[in-house]
Amino acid sequence: MSWITVLWSMLASTSLTFALLHLFLWAKGIKPWANFSFAVAAVAAAVITGMELMAMRTTSIEQMAFILRWSHLPILVLWVAIVCFVRCYFDAGRAWLAWTVVVLRVLALTLSLTTGQNLFFDEITGLKQITVWGDETVSLPLGLLNPWYFVGPLSALVLAAFVVDAAFTMWRGGTDTGRRRAVIFSASITIFLLTAVGHTALVNAGIIDSPYIGGLSFMPILLAMSYELSCDMLHSAQLSQRLQAREAELRISKQRMRLAASAAELRLWEWDIVHDHIWSTDKTLTLYGISEPQKISFGSLLSIIYDEDREQVRLAVEKSMMGNGNFESEYRLKMPDGQIHWFHSRGRIEFSDDNQPLRMLGVSIDITRRKHAELEVQQQRNELTHLSRVTLLGELSGSLAHELNQPLTAILSNAQAVQRFLSRDVVDLAEVRDILNDIVAENRRAGDIIHRLRLLLKRCEIEHLPVDLNKVVRDVLKLLHSDLVNNNIAVSVDLDQQLTAVIGDRVQLQQVLLNLIMNACEAMSYTVAGQRRLFVRTQLTCNNSAQVSVVDQGPGIPTENLENIFEPFFTTKLHGMGLGLPICRTIITAHGGQLWATNKNDRGAVFHLTLPLYSGENA
């Protein structure tokens, strides 16, 4: 067999192999359009190679003319495939150049079918047998060239221009890889395209005697195209390898993070606000029956939050969405076993460019233990406060007994009077009714006193409700009425009627005032009877808080003790425990206020306390 047949067959089959390979890739969906264009180009190249071989082996003029006529069909396909490849793969090249290539090539095919014997020859006059490279003999056509011949090379030039232009586009906008591709690809196409077209023209014109080398020339183009596609494959293989390594790293770092988080009892979470699902490292979430992480929505999370805290958490989230994106909240979660756990969460919202919340990242920490300790301390403080209140009332017991005995006396006397009236022959029912009304009124009065006392003696949960300080002052003065009377203390009050409510625990605030006023009374025990004056004033301060001042006419407080008196167990009294004022200060501080003492210029001490006003939103 001749080596030309062998070589050309090999070229054709190589092209077909390429075509098959890339068809396979196309079928796999990897860069489908580029691979498909390439496969088509390879098939076309194989057909062209085959046709060349047939032309070189033919001995009849008709057959030669026929082959040359129809060779423009695979060339058209090849050109179109190259154009498509460039457009799909490089995403470059001017559309009008592409269309020009296609139109010229279609024109070339049309002209090949309609003018002369084909686009190359007007008429083939004979076949020339030439011997090449040893003893191989091939046929070459001889004859008049078709005047439309130029359309073929013109289309090749336009195609080359299209490719070079695309290469320039890639060079300008590209990375190093892009530039390398642009150079290799455009250079190989331009050089080998022009070589093939030029060589064919020279052979056809009879200037050189050589077999057609179109198929041979297209091989480097195919190789260049294939190289590009393979580079991509290689690159993606490398990428996937790197990705795997990264994933392994990520897995390890995630494990580390989990370990660190669980060691620190931190729970990390992320809430995709757009799709509303929450991811969390929190294993306890699975305990609520929300086992699959993608099933946790904000709503389902809210549903396991303790009833009393739910609204507060919802508001905190809303506020962070409206505001600067920072979220912080303390809340309780109900465990399925009935236990309640406290959590502290902090998070931050990421917003999109148009300020829509996208997701929130955050951490939660189980603060149950700390909270229990806090509650215990709070409870102990409450006990102490309560105890001091009871002690305070113990000191007052005499006065309180008097206060209570007044209505009881009235009731007893009225009742005994009625007994006497009823034993008379004529009973004045109207009078009896009047007396009974009095009895009822006095009973109510006694009940009120007991109620007030019971409130003070009760060990109750601390409330945070709006409290009218003026009323607290009046109530305490009522309670202390007989004590003040007994000690010959004249009371004057100046209550600011503009004063709005403060937030706090009424009983505790009463306790503080009770303590301060009783201290004031005691301070005046050595003051001459006529000068024992107690002055209580409420007022609005300039920094928007309520102030109560208790002023006495006693000896005052030595300057060095003005602060010491608030220290526990510091006392100047004979039987004092030294806990009254410290507890008062604890109470006021817990209310967000201040308690301090000053001396008046002339004589006596003043105790001031300030409390923040109720603004209407923190209840």
Partner 1 sequence: MNEPAPIVFMVDDDPSVLKALALLLRAMELKVMTFGTPYQFLEQYEPGTHGCLVLDFSMPDLNGLELQKELAARGIELPVIFLTGRGDIPVSVQAMKQGAVDFLTKPVNGQDLAAAIHAAFEKDLMSQQARAEWGEIHQKLATLTPREREVMEHVVAGKLNKQIAADLGTVEKTIKVHRAHLMTKLKARSLADLVRLAERAGIMSKAPGRNDYQT
Q: Does 492 bind partner 1 (CB under 8 A)?
A: no
Task: Please identify, using beta-carbon distances, which residue of 142 and 453 lies nearer to partner 1.
Answer: 453
Among 184, 410, 477, 590, binds partner 1 (CB under 8 A): 410
Q: Does 443 bind partner 1 (CB under 8 A)?
A: no
Smallest gap, in angstroms, from Cβ of residue 411 to partner 1?
7
Task: Please identify, using beta-carbon distances, which residue of 348 and 402 lies nearer to partner 1.
Answer: 402
129, 132, 134, 137: CA torsion to nearest 10: -30
Smallest gap, in angstroms, from Cβ of residue 405 to partner 1?
4
SS3 content of the chain, % helix, strand, coil (to 5): 60, 15, 20
Among 20, 436, 485, 493, binds partner 1 (CB under 8 A): 485
Among 420, 528, 542, 602, binds partner 1 (CB under 8 A): 420
* Residue 533 contacts residue 489 (beta carbons within 8 Å): yes
Smallest gap, in angstroms, from Cβ of residue 539 to partner 1?
27
Smallest gap, in angstroms, from Cβ of residue 497 to partner 1?
25
List strand residue ranges (DSSP E) for 522-593, in order. 533-540, 545-551
User: Whole-angstrom distance between the N-terminal and C-terminal Cα of the chain?
Assistant: 103
Q: Does 413 bind partner 1 (CB under 8 A)?
A: yes
Q: Does 368 bind partner 1 (CB under 8 A)?
A: no
Q: Does 411 bind partner 1 (CB under 8 A)?
A: yes
One symbol per residue from 385 to 404: x for binding partner 1 (CB under 8 A), - otherwise; what is it? -------------xx-xxxx
In the window 224-243, what residues touch partner 1 (CB under 8 A)?
Answer: none
Size of the site for partner 1 (CB under 8 A): 29
- 556 Cβ neighbours under 8 A, 6+ residues apart: 599, 600, 603, 604, 605
CA–CA separation, 158 and 135 (whole Å): 39
In the window 170-199, what residues touch partner 1 (CB under 8 A)?
Answer: none
Q: Does 580 bind partner 1 (CB under 8 A)?
A: no
Among 368, 406, 564, 598, binds partner 1 (CB under 8 A): 406
Q: Count Cβ neighbours within 10 Å for each residue of 23-48 and write b for 16 or more, e otherwise.
A: bebbeeeebeebbbbbbbbbbbbbbb
What is the three-class DSSP state of 343? strand
Q: For partner 1, which stretch binds (CB under 8 A), given 73-81, 144-152, 366-374, 479-487?
A: 479-487
* Distances from the Cα of 150 to the Cα of 74, 112, 119, 146, 358, angstroms: 18, 12, 9, 9, 62
Report residue 92 as tokens: 């470059």
CA–CA separation, 306 and 331 (whole Å): 7
CA–CA separation, 433 and 441 (whole Å): 12
Q: Does 453 bind partner 1 (CB under 8 A)?
A: no
Among 139, 204, 482, 511, binds partner 1 (CB under 8 A): 482
Task: Please identify, using beta-carbon distances, which residue of 45 and 484 lies nearer to partner 1.
Answer: 484
* Residue 132 contacts residue 211 (beta carbons within 8 Å): yes
Q: Does 438 bind partner 1 (CB under 8 A)?
A: yes
Among 130, 435, 562, 590, binds partner 1 (CB under 8 A): 435
CA–CA separation, 80 and 295 (whole Å): 52
Among 155, 345, 414, 527, binds partner 1 (CB under 8 A): 414
Q: Tally Cβ neighbours within 10 Å of residue 558.
A: 11
Pure H helices in 524-594: 580-590
Smallest gap, in angstroms, from Cβ of residue 553 to partner 1?
16
Q: Which residues bind partner 1 (CB under 8 A)?
A: 398-399, 401-414, 416-417, 420-421, 435, 438, 441-442, 445, 482, 485-486, 488
